[in-house]
A and B are shown apart, each in its own frame.
Chain A
């Protein structure tokens, strides 16, 4: 699946998106998997209360299942308008 990062998550991880092959069942599992990869992921996902998630471009939460999903995005709380 495609994993996207925005705002300071993009800056901390150092890339806007990447293709991730994973068996993770939920978003929370995917976060754990990414955190174990490299310190920059661990740093970006250190405080999950500051991170929002969208699955296939719909806002959701960490419990969201990933079966059949093509796009997951992580970003800080939104500041539009």
Chain B
């Protein structure tokens, strides 16, 4: 298990290789990468977070995913600080013997991370990004 909150970028290929290294029991390795979408007005944003609580919140989401699905491994990397359009923001990796668990767990983690991990986006020239109702609704299907 690993949860990382960092300003630095990450290497998706290297993280996936790292998860597979030294084992041959994984049948499905799912990777989700969230990117900064280009915005019409201004293409930079800053991601603020709550050091300490962020790590705890992500670890809790990670633990819940592991309790619900038979995951062999799981990794969440979330960046903070200034991020330009096209930049990687978040990486979720899930590994399981068969694909269903890995796919579902990755989606579950992303759904919770969106509105339960203490991050706030501010777009250059646009101000703070409002939370989306759809993100809150997305949590309901996991109840």
Contact = CB atoms under 8 A, between A and B. Distances in A.
B120 to A, nearest CB: 4
A6 B115 contact: no
A6 B90 contact: no
B142 to A, nearest CB: 15
A54 B53 contact: yes
Chain B contact surface mostly: mixed
A6 B89 contact: no
Contacts of B117: 78, 80-81
Interface residues of B, number: 27
Given A57-B56, A81-B34, A76 B50 contact: no
A73 B51 CA distance: 12
A79 B110 contact: no
A81 B131 contact: no
B110 A81 contact: yes
B97 interface: no
A80 B53 contact: no
A6 B26 CA distance: 40
Contacts of A73: 50, 53, 118
Interface of B: 34, 48, 50, 52-53, 56-57, 78, 89-90, 110, 113-122, 127-132
